[in-house]
Structure 1
Amino acid sequence: MLLLFPVFNLYGSSLLILSSQGLIFSFLLFKRYYQQRNTSDLLLGLILIITCYHQTAYTIGFMDWYDTYRTTKINYYLVDLSLALAPLLFFYIKSIIQPDFKLKDINLWHFAPVLIYMLIKLFVWIYDAQQDGFHEVQNGPMVMQFEWKFLNPFLFLFRTIQMLLYLAFSFQIFFAFREKIKHYFANTYRLELRWLQNFLFAYSFLYLFYSIQIVVNEMIIDLSWKQKWWFYLLSGITIIYVGIKGFFTEISELKSVDFGTFKLPKNEPSRTVKKESVDQFSEKKALINNYFEDHKPYLDSELTLISLASRLDMSREELSDIINQGFESRFNDFINSYRIKETKRLILEDKHKTLSLLGLAFEAGFNSKATFNRAFKKSENQSPSEYLESMT
C-alpha cells in the first residue's frame, strides 16, 4: 500500500511550522522556569503547549493522516484540554501582577472539569475497545452515539461559560492593577502592561472567533475543513506572537512592584484626608507645589509615589490623597503634567534645534516615546510634533 502521509501543502505545512515554533518557545519557557523558578514562565509554557496541541487534529488531517490510516484511533488519543486553558490564562495574569503568587493545592480545583472530562474520555475508549470490530473502524459506537451527540455539545456550552468567566476575572484584575499603577508610577508604559493587555485580547479574539465558527457550523451551514482552517491559522499566529512576546518581554520589574497596604483612593469629594483640617491640607498642598518648583523631582524618570512621599516626609497614602483631592489628578497624570510643562519650556528656549522631540522628552523626565506622546496629546489635544509646528 502506498502511504500518502505526510502530504505537505499550504494548509498542513503552515500549521505544522507555526505549532513547531510554539513548541520551541514552550521548551524555552520551561527551561527558564527550571533555572529561575518564575511561575509565570511555567504557566505560559503550558498555555502554549495546549494551544499547539489543539492544532494536532487539523494539522495531520490536512497532511492526509485520516485518508491514509482509516482505522486510526487518534480521536481517542486527542483530548480537548481547553477546559484547562481558561484557568491557566487567569493564573498567568495573577502570577505577574501578584508577586507572591504561587500555585497551591487549593488552585487545583480549577482543573477539576478537565480531569472529569479526561476520565469520561477514558471510559469511552475502554467501552469501545471491548466492542466487536473495534480495530476495523475509526470510531466506535460510544464516540458516535454519546461523545459526538451529547458530550461535545455540553462541552462547548460549559467551555463557553467557563472561558467567559475566567476572561472576565482576568480583565477585572488586570484593569484594577493598571489603574493602581497609574496612582503609583509616573511612567507606566515601561512596565509592559501592554503585553498583558494584548495577551488577553489575543485569546479573547480566538475564543470569540471559535465560538462564532461553531455556531455557524451547527446552526447555519456545515463548514468545510478548509473553511475551518482559518481559525487554526489565526491560532498558529497567536502562538508565535505569545511565544515571542511572552519570552522576550521583560516583566521582572512589573512583578517586583509592591504596593504594600496602599489602596486606590475613592472618588468621594467630601472625604477628608485622615481627618486633618482644611488648613493643614492646604499647607501640604502648598508644600508639594513649592517642592516641585524648587527641586523638580519630575525630572527623575524613575520617580514613584513611594520615593516622592519619602522626599516629602509623608506616607504614600497621604500623598496620594492630596494629589487626588487637592490637585484632582492621579499621580501618573500629575507628574506628567510637570514634564509636559518642562518640554514646552525647552521648546520655547529653542532646545528643539539641538535635540529631537524625544530627546526633549527624556530631558523632561519621560523615559519612553509612547508615554510622552500619549501624555502630551491627552494634555494638549495635539501631538508633540503638531505642537512644535504651531510654535515655529
Structure 2
Amino acid sequence: MEIILNAGLGIGSLMFLLLLFKTGKKQEDYFFLCWIVVTLGQIAFYGVTIYRFELRSVWAIATFGLPLLGAPLLFLYILALTGRFVTWKTVLAHLSVYPIYILLLFLIQERDGVVLIASNGLFRLPKNPPVWMQYYAVPLALSALFYCIWDLVLLRKHSQNIVEFFSFHEKVNLRWVNYIVYSYFLLFLVASFLIFGAIHFQLLPIENAFALVGITLCLMLIAFVLYGFRQTAVFSNIDVGRTMDSKVSAAEKASYSKSGLTPSKIETLANQLSTYMEQEKPFLNEDLNLTLLAEQSQISPSYLSQIVNQYFQKNFYDFINQHRVEEAKKRLLSADYRHLSILGIAFDCGFKSKSSFNRYFKKYTGKAPSEFRKK
C-alpha cells in the first residue's frame, strides 16, 4: 500500500510541475495548482502517520484538517472554470474554515491539557477521551458532502448554459470534471464505510482503513491526470467560461419583455441575422459562440440571445447547428463536393467531431449522413 501512496505522490508532483510551467495561466489554473498541493499533503499525511512516524499538536491538526482546504479549492476551481471571476472575498470566505478549525482544536487541547497525536491516519484517543475528541472528524465529513453537492449543482448549471452560448460541446462540457466530483463523493463514501467498519466492527485494522482512503485519493488524483491530458481543458488555454461571463445573464433572459425591443425591431434584427448567416456563413467557424457572432453581426449579445430564443424559438446551439446541417445537406448532394468524404464535409461545415455531426444530422433530418448522400 505504501508503494501506491508513493506513486500517487510522484504522479501528482509531475502534474503540478507540468501545470506550473504552463504559459498563459488563468485564475482556475492557480486554484488547481493549490488543490494539487493540498491533495499531495493529504496523501503524504497518510503515508507518514501510517508507515513512518507520529505527528503531534499543531502539525497533527494542520495536516489532518487538509480536506477542509481540498474540497473548497476544487469548488473554486470549478467556479472559475465555468466562467465566474472569483474575488478574494469569495476565496477567503471558503478557505477560512480551515484556519478556524486548526485554531479551535489547538485551543481546546490546550484548555484540556491534552496533546493531539496523529497516528495511523487519525488522532489517537486516550482512555476516557473528552466528548469533542470523539467528533473531531465531523467537520471534514460535512465539508466534503456539502461541496460535492455544490460542485454538481455548478456543473449542471454550466451544462444548461452551454446550449445558449456555444455552437459545440467538445472541450466545454466539462464532463470530465463531473467524473472527478463523483470520485470525490465516492472517496467520501469509501472513507466513511472503511473508518466506521474499522472502529465499530473491527472489519480491518484502522491503519489499513486509512491507507485505503489514501489510495483512493491517489486514484482520484491519477484520474484527474488522465482526464486532464485527454480532454486538454486543464493543460491548454481553452477559455471555457469567458464567453458566458456577464454577457447575457439569466435575469436578462427572464425579462425579455423589458429589453426595449419592439416586435418590429425584433423582426428587423432577425432578418439582418438571417441575411448575415446566409451570405457570410459564420457557422463554418467551428469555434463560433454567442459573443463572436454578436460582434460579427453587429447585434448586441443580449439582443442576439433574445432573437434566437424568442423569434427563431431555438437555443444558440440548435440555431447554429441547424445552419451547419443545411450547408452539409447541400454539399452532400453537390457534385462539386464528391471528392470529399462525409467527415471532410462535416469538418468544413463547422462540426468538431464525427459523432456530433452524425448525432445532430440524424436528429434534424431523420437520416444518417451516408444514407442521405445515397438518395
Q: What does the per-residue CA deviation read over 1:100-120, in whole Å, with 9 as the maximum and x for residues that have no partner?
A: 435x26632433332233235
- Are 2:227 and 1:236 aligned? no
Segments of 4+ moved more than 6 angstroms: 146-149, 265-268
Change in CA separation of 1:376 and 1:219 when aligned onto 2, cut-off 3 Å: farther
Contact 1:97 1:177 in 2 (8 A): yes
- AA aligned opposite 1:388: S
Task: Please tell me the root mean square deviation across aligned C-alpha atoms, in Å.
Answer: 4.0
Quote how far apart the aligned CAs of 1:170 are: 3.0
Contact 1:18 1:237 in 2 (8 A): yes
Corresponding residue to 1:169 among 143, 150, 170: 150
**TM-score of the superposed pair, with normalisation by structure 1:** 0.74
Partner of 2:249, secondary structure, is coil
Quote how far apart the aligned CAs of 1:273 are: 7.1
Separation in 2, partners of 1:125, 1:16: 34
Contact 1:343 1:360 in 2 (8 A): yes
Note the 1:329-368 alignment, pairs <5 A.
329-349=314-334, 354-368=339-353
Change in CA separation of 1:232 and 1:343 when aligned onto 2, cut-off 3 Å: farther
Quote how far apart the aligned CAs of 1:59 are: 3.6
Quote how far apart the aligned CAs of 1:279 are: 4.1
- AA aligned opposite 1:306: T
Separation in 1, partners of 2:235, 2:363: 27
Separation in 2, partners of 1:265, 1:176: 14
Residue 161 of structure 2: aligned partner: 180
Separation in 1, partners of 2:262, 2:28: 46
- Are 2:15 and 1:25 aligned? yes
Q: What does the per-residue CA deviation read over 1:137-160, in whole Å, with 9 as the maximum and x for residues that have no partner?
A: x79xx9413897744653443223
Residue 170 of structure 2: aligned partner: 189
Residue 43 of structure 2: aligned partner: 55
Separation in 1, partners of 2:355, 2:238: 20
Quote how far apart the aligned CAs of 1:266 are: 7.0
Partner of 1:288, secondary structure, is helix
Note the 1:306-385 alignment, pairs <5 A.
306-349=291-334, 354-369=339-354, 371-376=356-361, 378-379=363-364
Q: Which has the larger radius of gyration?
A: 1
Change in CA separation of 1:56 and 1:315 when aligned onto 2, cut-off 3 Å: closer
Residue 14 of structure 1: aligned partner: 4
- Are 2:254 and 1:263 aligned? no
Partner of 1:314, secondary structure, is coil
Partner of 1:354, secondary structure, is coil
Residue 42 of structure 1: aligned partner: 30
Corresponding residue to 1:210 among 191, 201, 213: 191
Number of aligned positions between the proteins? 361
Quote how far apart the aligned CAs of 1:367 are: 3.0
**TM-score of the superposed pair, with normalisation by structure 2:** 0.77
Separation in 1, partners of 2:186, 2:358: 28
Q: What does the per-residue CA deviation read over 1:165-213, in whole Å, with 9 as the maximum and x for residues that have no partner?
A: 3233333334334433432221242346334434433323323333344
Change in CA separation of 1:149 and 1:206 when aligned onto 2, cut-off 3 Å: farther
Partner of 1:55, secondary structure, is helix
- AA aligned opposite 1:16: N
Separation in 1, partners of 2:139, 2:288: 47
Q: Which segments of 5 or more consecutive residues in structure 1 lack a partner in the other structure?
A: 1-10, 66-71
Residue 7 of structure 1: aligned partner: none
Corresponding residue to 1:116 among 91, 94, 100: 100
- AA aligned opposite 2:30: L
Residue 96 of structure 1: aligned partner: 81
Quote how far apart the aligned CAs of 1:61 are: 7.0
Quote how far apart the aligned CAs of 1:331 are: 0.8
Residue 69 of structure 1: aligned partner: none
Separation in 2, partners of 1:373, 1:209: 40
